[in-house]
Amino acid sequence: MELYNLKHVSERVNFSQALQLGLGKDRGLFFPSQIPKLDDMDAILALPFVARCKTILGAWLSDELGQNQVDMLVEQAFNFSLPLTRVDDNRACLELFHGPTLAFKDFGARFMAQCISALAEDKRLTILTATSGDTGAAVADAFFGLDKVQVVVLYPKGKISLLQEKMFTTLGENIHTIAVESDFDACQELVKQSFEDNELRQTLGLNSANSINISRLLAQICYYFEAVAQVRQYSDKDIVVSVPSGNFGNLTAGLFAKAMGLPIARFIAATNSNDTVPRYLVNGQWVPHTTVATLSNAMDVSEPSNWPRVEAICAAMGWPLSVISGVMVDEVQTAASLTSLASLGYQSEPHASIAAQGLVTLKEHETGIFLGTAHPAKFKDVVDSILGTDLALPQALRAVEAKTILSRPLAADFGLLKSHLLQKLA
């Protein structure tokens, strides 16, 4: 697999390099030189999930890693179910939250961790990542106990739910967590600055685990195929997928799936009030506002890092940007959508509720899928207060509830972060 830097087209790397570098020169994103196309889509959709994932990821990676290694990575990473649950005649939720940390981030994080452990030579490695809630848990869980690898997770202090926080700040050992006194965009900025700092990068062997890491995006392509395979069992209408979007990794993966030949007619980019993209899709002006805190906190992102990849895919495929419709769903509508899903007998949570609401624009000839990105119990406080319920916690959450948070608070200042990391990890 060959990739190039979207900012410096002449910088070319292979998958293994992109995996370990994260970003290219000048923070450029790596983008595949070629998007493989799959023939005989019917046969591919007929395969069981894991076998299908081997084919999909093999199309990208087998030239570099060999199909046997791809098969092994897939088997170790994808070991949980992803049911498509119909909520009414025209809408179904692809539930991506049945992995170990109860959010769709498990797909990308587990595959990435497998790739990194398999491909990193015996050098020291520090995974540095920012989280708006769920990445931290997924990455920490995927790497926990791998003693060759240290993990540092930055998250915005007080801006994620207590249960989310407990899922990754209570692990200890090789998992180091820092509560940054600011918002997610500031955390992302600190990660980017760290990568630009040669001393940090080299001393610690920094590696990114954000959705900018190409391995995570490749893994996420797989579940779009599963969504289509399951929808085709009850509908032959045009398929529309509504993606609850924050940093736009999820939507990027969906576009890669479509580019590989998967029959998805169009996408809906559903955001909360942090609506840089929906506004941009209407007026062509990229004007991020200050990030505001919402009920769907994992989507509180106003400068989504993956956006250049979205545009690059559309450009490479000759698609107009209108293959994506932006929908902004505010707090009142989020609660209303959650309530309406509950009245249909479907227990959801704020992020998926936003995606479900995004499907209001569905036409007669279309059938809609919205992505269920987190388990409702992960947002128990919000869900209970809106619906008047008392959700039972699944085992993965009950286990962390009583544990102590081990994170260290830190001002959003690169100098402070750098000295802390060097002192703690060098």
Residues that bind ligand PLP (CB under 6 A): 103, 105, 133-134, 211, 244-250, 298-299, 351, 373-374
> Minimum distance from CB of 183 to ligand PLP (Å)?
15
Compare residues 24 and 99 and give the one whose CB is closer to ligand PLP.
99
State the nearest-atom distance from the C-beta of 268 to ligand PLP, in Å: 13
Smallest gap from Cβ 393 to ligand PLP, in A, equals: 17
Closest to ligand PLP by CB, 128 vs 299, is: 299
Q: Which is nearer to ligand PLP, 32 or 249 (CB)?
A: 249
Half-sphere exposure of 47 (CA within 13 A, CB side): 15
Reading phi first (left if > 0) and then psi (alpha if -120 to 50, else beta), residue 284 is in left
Which CB atom, from 44 or from 190, has the smaller least distance to ligand PLP? 190
Smaller CB separation from ligand PLP, 45 or 128: 128
**Of 64 and 331, which has the nearer Cβ to ligand PLP?**
331
Question: Least distance in Å: CB of 103 to ligand PLP?
Answer: 5
Residue 48 CB, shortest distance to ligand PLP, in Å, is 26
Quote the least distance from Cβ 325 to ligand PLP, whole Å. 16
| Least CB distance to ligand PLP at residue 217 (A) | 9
- Cβ proximity to ligand PLP: between 32 and 108 the closer is 108
